[in-house]
Amino acid sequence: MKDLKTIKSLEKELKVVLKRFRLKDVGGNSPGFFLGSNGDVKGLSLVKLNLKEIPIQVYELTNLIQLNLGTNRLRRIDNKITQLNKLFKIGLYQNEFKQFPYILFSLSKLTNIYIQQNKIGSIDKKRLELCKLDQFDISKNPLNIPPEIIRRGGTEKLITYLNSISKDSKPFNEVKVILVGDGASGKTSLIKRLMSDEFDMSEPQTHGIRINSYVSKPNNYPANVKYNFWDFGGQEIMHATHQFFMSKRSIYVLVLNAREEPNPEYWLKSIESFGGDSPILIVINKIDENPSFDVNRNFLKDKYRSILGFYKLSCSTKEGISDFKSSLTNSVVDVPHISNIWSNKWFKIKDTLQNISVPYISFDNYVKTCKNEGIDNDSDQQILLEFLNDLGVVLHFKDFALNDTHVLDPIWVTSAVYRVINSELLSNQGGIISYSDLTTILKKGKEDKYSYPVSKFKYIIELMKKFQLCYEFETKKILVPDLLPVQEPDMNFLDGEKSTVDVEYDFLPKSILPRLIVNMHGDIKDNMRWRTGVVLYDEKYDATAVIKADYELKTISINVYGTNKRDYLSVILHFLRKINSYFEKLVAVEKVPLPDRPNIYVSLNHLYKLEGLGKSKYFPDGADFEYDVKDLLGSIGGPYDSEKELLILLEKVANKLDSHETLMQKANDIVQLQPNFFGMGVNLNAIIDKYLKKKKTAANKGYTQ
């Protein structure tokens, strides 16, 4: 009872009502707590309470295992925190810490620390080496450390980086400049003007990627910087492959064709999706052909805060080129990683790899290159490889089918993918080809720079599968959803009640629906798939789903029919949320229609919040009267049940090769994707044990789950 008295004391001091949540209902975006079986407080969430210090009562909760203090005004932690010697997870994100609270390292069971978005400027390597953390997120702090090193993960990568720094280390001083825009907007011509002051009136369109570099010294910067220009082809069918190389460590140049009066927001949203807060320069090209054209600059700059400036120019007449070149050169100061320190060994390996004449090397040859420079530790080699991948020096993936090939020339692999998705054979066959067709598609012509041995066909297809550009079916057949037939099939067989959720986007990337088709291709009913939709069926739930994308309305609609509509809807929403999570700053609102006014929709997330707050009635905007919250939730199957949904989703995403470790990772991924869910109060080990027991029971009965 001591813990409950402490909670009562907290309620009084904080002047907030901390409702008693059931174990399965605790969310991390509002204050709350959950209890263990013996009545002890096991988890406590004190988020968004404007706290300047941790209430002393918290230190009395000695059975706490999870503590969330995110989004407050904390600057320090009292030594009394050592009383919480059972704590294994703490959230301190979005506070005001200027120094890391090293007292946390004295908690022997603490394995997860989330302290992103504070004001921490340094981290002590020796103290860090004394602890063992599975999750240590110190990103979005003013540390002069590459962001890939400090994002969510264990401490191993950070320690390796800190150990690599010595007296001969120096700033990276290199930046990727990515040019995007519609086909024929003049991206290649702009690069030629910047690099050599050349212009070709008959410049051919770029098919794939072109990469060029030059060196220049920005104003008020102590050294020269190397600018690597990545010129992406603008044809729509190629946009999905941009994700291979678009990164947050870049400067983006959006080139608009003044002659065609384009809408820039499609590209600005794409840049945000893959580039996060990377600086953006907007070029309005060909003003000699349409001098009056402009964009609503104040509106765009207010909406997209990463825009540094707008530049009207003409590659043909050279007007505006000099001013733009100066602005581009100096914009490097807005790229945080430019001054990150690299060890001399890392530079030597990078230079060696970039000077190799072949387009790819094996993993063994990469290891040999590292050992030649004195980097013998496996984990050090792997971390450097991941970093080189993030910078675009190599294209590397951990996946078993991709791990042995490290691509050194990105044009080699993108050219192969472009040739596949642009092939006449693929188009003529409704988006379907076989492995044997690759021999024809990738055959080297007289003017082709690259060759593709049969031994690399599997790598190319596995890469397309990884980025969800295609999936395999039957025996050695490949389907590319982007090239499916346009016509929607007849669906007269559907009847009965349905559960409906519409997902409204502020920007609907063209690749989201194809990705969903790839992710759920095993459920496709009778090959009913087309360019903007798919019909799915799951025998276990006896449920059929019709999913359609409307690119004009920027909406994906999901209608589910059958016996267990709610469970199957939960599965589909999970996969869609996972796909949405790949895109930075993407706004996707899940809505359900009113039962008697199907043209009026209400936010599903808002309904769950109302239910959690104990609100029974809701007056939707546009309606004529109040509705019962539980009735509205009932239209999709009832209230959220975390344990049940986690088990359902785990059964859907797990496979027979999963170990306990990989199941735990998948379970964590599921938790992170649930709306308003911090993960407190959910015993993932118990859920995994329940899944394994259920799987074993099914196997004993002679069928698989």
| Domain limits, the chain | 2-158, 171-338, 343-407, 410-483, 498-634, 656-700
Q: Are strands 174-180 and 250-257 parallel, antiparallel or unpaired?
A: parallel
**pLDDT > 80? residue 652:** no
208 vs 47, which has greater pLDDT?
47
Residue 135 has pLDDT above 70, yes or no: yes
Strand, coil or helix: what is 408? coil
8 Å CB contact between 323 and 295:
no
Whole-number Å distance between alpha carbons of 374 and 346: 10
Question: By C-alpha distance, which of 14, 83, 3 is closest to 53?
Answer: 14
Which amino acid is located at 671 in the chain?
V
Using CB atoms within 10 A of its CB, is residue 512 exposed (0-12), middle (13-18) or buried (19+)?
Answer: buried
Class of domain 171-338: alpha beta
Q: Are the CB atoms for 563 and 542 separated by under 8 Å?
A: yes
pLDDT > 70: what percent of the chain? 85
For range 568-589, the mean pLDDT? 88
Scored b (16 or more CB within 10 A) or e, 559-596 reads bbbbebbbbbbbbbbbbbbbbbebbeebebebbbbbee
If pLDDT is split at 50, 70 and 90, which confidence band does 530 have? very high
The confidence score (pLDDT) of residue 205 equals 65
Section 511-531 average pLDDT: 91
CA dist 420 and 480 (Å) reads: 10
pLDDT digits (tens, 9 = 90+) for 397-428: 877 778 889 899 888 988 898 889 888 999 89
What DSSP string runs through 556-569?
Answer: EEEEEEETTHHHHH
The pairing of beta strand 524-530 with beta strand 360-362: unpaired
From the options 3.40.50.300, 3.30.450.40, 1.10.10.2200, 3.20.20.390, give the CATH code of 410-483: 1.10.10.2200
> Matching CATH topology for 410-483 and 498-634?
no
Residue 5: both structure tokens together: 């008295």
Q: Residue 322's CB: how many other CB atoms inside 10 A?
A: 11
Separation of CA 296 from chain center? 29
Q: Out of 39-48, 251-260, 500-509, 612-621, which region has the weakest mean confidence (pLDDT)?
A: 39-48
Q: Burial of 308 by CB count in 10 Å (0-12 exposed, 13-18 middle, 19+ buried)? A: middle
Selected residue with higher pLDDT from 584 and 592: 592
How far apart CA 556 and CA 591 sit, in angstroms, is 11
Average pLDDT, the chain: 83
- Asked if residue 34 lies in contact with residue 23, where contact means CB atoms within 8 angstroms, the answer is yes
**Which is it for strands 543-550 and 533-538: parallel, antiparallel or unpaired?**
antiparallel
User: Comparing 295 with 235, which gets the higher pLDDT?
Assistant: 295
Q: Which two tokens stand for residue 303?
A: 């909406």
Query: How high is the pLDDT of residue 48?
Result: 84
With vertex at residue 466, the alpha carbon angle to CA 454 and CA 278, rounded to the nearest 5 degrees, is 120
What SS3 class is residue 413?
helix
How far from 84 is each of 60, 74, 287, 531, CA to CA, in Å? 8, 18, 66, 55
Helices within 613-655 (DSSP H only): 629-634, 642-653
| pLDDT at 256 (0 to 100) | 93
* Confidence bin at 33 (pLDDT 50/70/90): low
- 343-407 belongs to which CATH class? mainly alpha
In the beta sheet, which residues pair with residue 310?
Answer: 282
How is residue 37 written in tokens? 């079986």
2-158 sits in which CATH class? alpha beta
Specify the pLDDT at position 6.
Answer: 67
Instruction: State if pTM tops 0.75.
Output: no
Question: Which strand ranges, in their side-by-side order, compose the sheet holding 543-550?
Answer: 524-530, 533-538, 543-550, 555-562, 498-505, 588-593, 601-603
CATH of 498-634, one of 3.10.290.10, 3.30.70.260, 3.30.310.200, 1.10.3720.10: 3.30.310.200
| Three-class SS of 355-395 | CCCCCEEEHHHHHHHHHHCCCCCHHHHHHHHHHHHHHCCCE
pLDDT confidence of residue 15: 45
* Whole-number CA gyration radius for the chain: 27
Give the model confidence (pLDDT) of 81-124 as tens digits: 999 999 989 999 999 999 999 999 999 999 999 999 999 999 99
Task: Copy the structure tokens of residue 317.
Answer: 């007449």
